[in-house]
Chains A and B, each alone.
Chain A
Amino acid sequence: MAITRDEVLHVARLARLELRDDEVERFTEQLSAILEAVAKVSELDLTGVEPTAHPLDLLNVWAEDVPRPCLPQGDALANAPDHEAGFFKVPPI
């Protein structure tokens, strides 16, 4: 197995995904197969090769520090599943 059940549970935890038991089983199998396939990249000896983070060679793109209108509070909260007195509301930490 390229990835163990425990490792799947670990990444699910990191990614805040609550998996059911049968899901863990199925995903472990599928992820194992996929990981084996993608691990192919390590076949290549790429010492000395620079990684490419961006397809274009852009540098220093920024904007002047000039304000633009903000959203009205109503728009900010428009899609909020729960809100109170102008705040977004969530269960306690």
Chain B
Amino acid sequence: MNWEPVIGLEIHIHLKTRTKMFCRCEVAYFEPENTRTCPVCLAYPGSLPVPNATAVEWTIKLGLALDCEIAEHAVFHRKNYFYPDNPKGYQISQYDEPLCVNGRLALPGPDGDAEIGIVRAHLEEDAAKNVHVGGAEGRIGGATATLVDFNRAGTPLVEIVTQPDLRSADQARRFLQLLRQTVVELGISDAEMQKGSLRFDVNVSVRPEGSDELRTRTELKNLNSFAFAAKAIQREVERQVAVYGSGGEVVQETLHFDPGAESAPPLRSKEEAQDYRYFPEPDLVPLEPPRELVGRILEGLPESPATRIRRLAAGLDHDLAEDLVTSGRDRLYERVPGDRRAVANVLMNQFAAAGVDPEAANPEELGRLIEARSRIPREKLTEALAASGDPGFSAEQYLGDGLVADTAELEPIVERIIEANPGQVEAYRGGKEGLLGFFVGQVMKETQGKADPRVVNELLRQKLS
């Protein structure tokens, strides 16, 4: 029996607005604890939420980039539960009337696009940060106290939920990369996992290949990188297949991974169904995004990464096209003249290694370098690439037809010229210093202009004195 994975993702991204979702505290990372708070995000008695206009606009922008329908009437709901990082005892979120629904992200692949459905994208606020102290470092078990920092509480969060359309761990990884890329290019989020501005959970189940049933799924939480997630998903898929294979049943569970210890096996828990008692937020009025605003945002959307991958893949290996786009080097690629594969390869390898900002590099000069790369010694090419982002960079000095500055090469020529012109040597030594130019000219003639004049000058002065 062949099994296929059925994978869905729930992604949370921080919007990089200046202020929080429901108050005007400045959003800041890595600031001293509880220095970015106010009565609203601390949930003091009597405080009230005021939505961030930019957060609403950027959620619409993201929804449009994901081909979603933007709701004509959207509502904030309260999600009620108790936890120390949830100061109001409820989170302001969205429930059955979210801002964006029914979208899709085309994931270009070597065999064509895989269309991954987006169930919804909605706007909510992030919780505060709990630090568990006293027990095993950072883990909940055995802690003696919990310390809470409310700086993060209230940061705008967009939650994106996909359909369970992903069919492999690797596809899930590539989807995450593409989604991240899309979000970053829209300018609405840094989407960096280490910073905490992108988080995701994975739902995994398996089913017999070809069937359309949906079996019990497990949830993977706290995965700290795309690569690790791919590994964890793969392992879970294999585990589930083995369970079914031995006649067992997969049990609904949540696997909590430890972001600090990748190899540690996850803690397994059976999460009790929570009754969040959702009801419309009475302190906030509904949103009806004006169609004219939605239209304007739609028109201003940049060309999506998926579209660009597809375009580049017409003339390049798919994986290379995808790498160029997801690494942010595709725009440079399109402007650098020359053989497409050569340019792509250098950009993804040696240029990438040089660590130069693609925006700073001069495309024409890079093109010349790349064209001449077989004629340039390796160290020279590395040096050239490292400098390619400097203002006024010119490939000239690094090219194979570059000036010869090697004294070992030039010395014999200089000596020959000196020997062949005794009269001028005597005249120069007699005080006619202007004759230096004559000697330089002779060396240049001899080397067809390829000698480095400064080195020639230096050598001549040495030998003529």
Contacts and interface: CB of A to CB of B under 8 A. Distances in A.
Do A and B bind?
Answer: yes
Interface stretch (A19-27, A37-45, A56-64): A56-64
Q: Identify whether the interface residues of B are mostly helix, strand, loop, or mixed.
A: loop
Contact of A68 (B24, B140, B145, B149): B24
Interface in B39-72: 39, 42, 50-56
B132 interface: yes
Given A70-B37, A86-B34, A93-B140, A65 B19 contact: yes
B282 interface: yes
A76 B19 contact: no
A53 B282 CA distance: 7
B260 interface: no
Chain B interface size, as a band, is 35 or more
A76 to B, nearest CB: 5
Chain A interface size, as a band, is 20 to 34
B25 A54 contact: no
B29 to A, nearest CB: 14
B132 A93 contact: yes
A73 B275 CA distance: 34
A63, A65, A67, A93 interface centre (most CB from chain B within 10 Å): A65
Interface string B287-312: 11110000000000000000000000
Contact of A93 (B38, B55, B75, B84): B84
A73 B34 contact: yes
Contacts of B277: 14
Contacts of A90: 84, 145-146, 148
B143 A92 contact: yes
Given A68-B24, A77-B34, A93-B84, A62 B52 contact: yes
B35 interface: yes
Contact of A67 (B26, B33, B82, B150): B26
A63 B145 contact: no
Interface in B119-139: 130-132, 134-135
A62 B50 contact: yes
B54 A65 contact: yes
A18 interface: no
Given A53-B280, A63-B52, A93-B140, A73 B145 contact: no
B146 A91 contact: yes
B441 interface: no
Nearest to B147: A87
B18 interface: yes
B149 A64 contact: no
B18 A65 contact: yes
A1 interface: no
A77 B150 CA distance: 11
B17 interface: yes
B318 interface: no
Contact of A14 (B130, B134, B275): B275
Contact of A92 (B25, B35, B144, B285): B144
Nearest to A53: B280
A67 B39 CA distance: 15
Contact of B146 (A14, A68, A92): A92
Interface in B1-49: 17-19, 24-26, 32-39, 42
Contact of A60 (B42, B134, B149, B288): B288
Contact of B149 (A16, A58, A71, A87): A87
Contacts of A54: 282, 285-286
Contacts of A67: 18-19, 24-26
A89 interface: yes
Contact of A63 (B39, B53, B150): B53
Contacts of B144: 92
B98 to A, nearest CB: 16
A14 B146 CA distance: 21
Contacts of B143: 92-93
Contacts of B18: 65-67
A64 to B, nearest CB: 6
B17 A86 contact: no
Contact of A59 (B25, B52, B130, B285): B285
Given A64-B53, A68-B24, 17 more contacts: A59-B288, A61-B285, A62-B56, A65-B18, A65-B55, A67-B26, A68-B38, A70-B36, A70-B37, A71-B37, A72-B35, A73-B33, A73-B34, A87-B33, A87-B131, A92-B143, A93-B84
30 contacts: A16-B82, A54-B286, A56-B285, A59-B286, A60-B288, A61-B284, A63-B51, A63-B52, A63-B53, A65-B17, A65-B54, A68-B24, A68-B38, A70-B26, A70-B35, A70-B36, A71-B42, A73-B32, A73-B33, A76-B37, A84-B145, A87-B147, A87-B148, A88-B148, A89-B147, A91-B146, A93-B130, A93-B132, A93-B140, A93-B146
7 closest A-B pairs by beta carbon, nearest first, are A87-B147, A65-B54, A58-B285, A68-B24, A62-B51, A67-B26, A92-B143
